[in-house]
Each structure stands twice: as C-alpha cells, then as structure tokens.
Amino acid sequence: MQFKNILLPLSLTFTLAACSGEESADPSQLIQQGQYDAAIEASESQLASVETGSADHKELVIVYAEALAESRADESRDAFLAFAKAHPDMVEPRDYKYVVSGLRTHAAYLQAIDVMDAGKKRWAEDSTIDELVEALKQDIAKSGDADSMAKMKGLGYM
C-alpha cells in the first residue's frame, strides 16, 4: 500500500509533464552530466510540487543539496540541515554522508564540516558518521585548507 502511495505522486508528475508537452528533467542525471545549474532549476521546480515531508521530498532535497554544492555551498548546507531539523525522523547517517560527499567533491570543506558535525552530534557512535569524519579529516589535511583545519581542531576532530 505504501509503495502505491509513493508511485502515485510520481505518476501524476510524469502525466502532468506529458500533458504539457514538457519532459520532467531528472536532477540526478543533470548532475551526472555536470549541468549543476539545470539540476538546481529542475530540483526547485519539482520541490515546489512535491508533498513536504514525503519520501520524494527528502530525495529531492538531497539531490538539490548535491547540485547546490558545486557553486552555492552555503545554500547546499542550509537546505539539507533545514530539512534534517524539520524532519529528524526521516534522515539517516547515510544522508549526511551523501551531502558531505557532494560538498567534499567541490572542496566546500567548511560547509561539509557543518553537515558532518550535525550528523556526529546526532549519532555520536555511528560507524557511518565516524567514517565520514575520517574521510573529511584526510581531505582537509591533503588540501592544506588552513581555515578548515582550524575549524576541525576547534570542534575537537583534529
């Protein structure tokens, strides 16, 4: 029954797009093609039409955060953390890991630290979060980013 409830909004989205003669852009695919601005636009459009707090909403927020990470890292961090705060029962350590990974890919270490730290505070003993902390520490050490090193030290991670 729950599976049907998830498919219904998606099928309606695709039906409406087909009726309007427009094809709904897949933000994930646009990210894979390096079309971050188009992915942001597609995500924003889809976020406006999806039920807040639904599984589809969560997935779109995570993809949106990934698209924003390329050029608007503060917005990426803020979008994900706002969703996590509003819907704490929906997020998992792997969601934090995914968003931090997107930020790390674009060397947005300061913002990645904020997301990682929020995840660590929530799941202090989680192995996924522990791996995330270690990976971020290694990236920052390799990068030589003094501000990020200082922030990690200040938070007690280094």
Q: Tell me the angle at which helices 109-122 and 93-105 cross, rounded to the nearest 10 degrees.
A: 170
For tokens 């501000």, what's the residue? 147
In this predicted structure, what is the pLDDT of residue 23? Answer: 53
CA distance 38 to 30: 7
Distances 19 to 14, 22, 47 between C-alpha atoms, Å: 9, 8, 19
From its phi and psi, is residue 144 left (phi > 0), alpha (psi between -120 and 50) or beta? left
Walk me through the domains of the chain, giving residue ranges and CATH numbers: 26-154 (1.25.40)
- 97: tokens are 């890991």
Residue 25 is given by DSSP the state P
Q: Which uninterrupted H or E stretch holds 37?
A: helix 36-47
In this predicted structure, what is the pLDDT of residue 16? Answer: 37
Cα R_g (the chain), whole angstroms: 17
Residue 71 is given by DSSP the state T
Per-block average pLDDT, block size 10, for the chain (158 residues)? 38 38 76 95 94 94 96 97 96 96 96 98 95 96 96 95
